[in-house]
Amino acid sequence: MIEINNLAFSYGPKTVLKNISMKVSEGNIYGLLGENGVGKTTLLTLLCGLKKPQEGTILVDGRNPFDRQPSLLSDQFYLPDEVTPVHAKAIDFAKEHGVFWPNFDLEKFEKILTEFEVEAQQRMDAMSAGQLKKAWISFALACNAKYYYLDEPTNGLDIPSKAQFRKAVTKYTAEDSTLIISTHQVRDLENIIDPIIILDNQAVLVNASMQEISEKLFFDYGTELHPGALYLEQTPGGCIQVYPNTTGEESKVNVEAFFNTVHAHKDLVNPLFNNPVNE
């Protein structure tokens, strides 16, 4: 489990994260959402130990990531948005660096590469941006880590590759693995992310499962306008409306519409999830 308590981080005079507290449970694929500049990448780098909290604490299974204990480092993987074009063949890179993860599986790496249609014998510095991203994703999943921190993993991928990524994540991560995926491409990932974390202006607006979201809000895909709609978006066949769920009826959560609803009605929506905005 990941426990974050009163976390704060600034870049000089600019405060990015302030008084952030939340828990991240094992065995889930979290979607980390938020507008540009709210601290998503900063949070991921704090979680993996690349940065040190200026205030507050982070504990991953009771350990401080910034202590960079080998036992924790070998149990996690951070994939940045921009990946390195290594001067080596993909297979040689994997053989050389996979040893840092005790559960690394070279055969699994090659299998995922094949599914991504990337040649294991190709030099990584000669790959296209999309191929390089897929090579790094393949390496990450082959590490069989317990904790994954993925920053915009679908950036640079074409439409078929995004589908391959979703399939690979669900197929090649263990049931007890925890993934936190930062993304602006909500539609690329909404079928696999659950719960949802929304950051905004130094605060955690929401940390809730799809079930909790569905219990609190109703997502209407009809044509009749609802007078209590908190969010309305026109679609070719009608509209998407979001309003408080007063009947207990289930509906399919639209993550993009949920994100827009939260941002349009922070003071109203946030208390629904028992997570008051940080002062």
pLDDT tens figures, 111-170: 999 999 999 999 999 999 999 999 999 999 999 999 999 999 999 999 999 999 999 999
Amino acid 185: pLDDT: 85
End-to-end CA distance of the chain: 25
Instruction: Determine the Cα–Cα distance for residues 90 and 127; give it in Å rounded to an integer.
Output: 10
What was the pLDDT predicted at 276? Answer: 47
User: Exposed/middle/buried for 279, CB within 10 Å: 0-12, 13-18, 19+?
Assistant: exposed
pLDDT score of 187: 86
Q: Where in the chain is the domain with CATH 3.40.50.300?
A: 2-205
**Residues 33-59: what's their mean pLDDT?**
95
Name the DSSP letter for residue 197: E
Residue 275 pLDDT exceeds 70 = no
pLDDT > 70 in the chain, percent: 98
Sheet holding 2-11, edge to edge: 14-24, 2-11, 55-60
Q: Where are the beta strands (DSSP E) in 51-170?
A: 55-60, 76-79, 147-151
In this prediction, residues 3-32 reach a mean pLDDT of 94
Confidence band (pLDDT; 50, 70, 90) for 278?
Answer: very low
Q: In the numeric block, which tokens belong to residue 202?
A: 């130094």
pLDDT of 277 above 70? no
Q: How many CB atoms lie within 10 A of CB 104?
A: 19
Task: Classify domain 2-205 at the CATH class level.
Answer: alpha beta
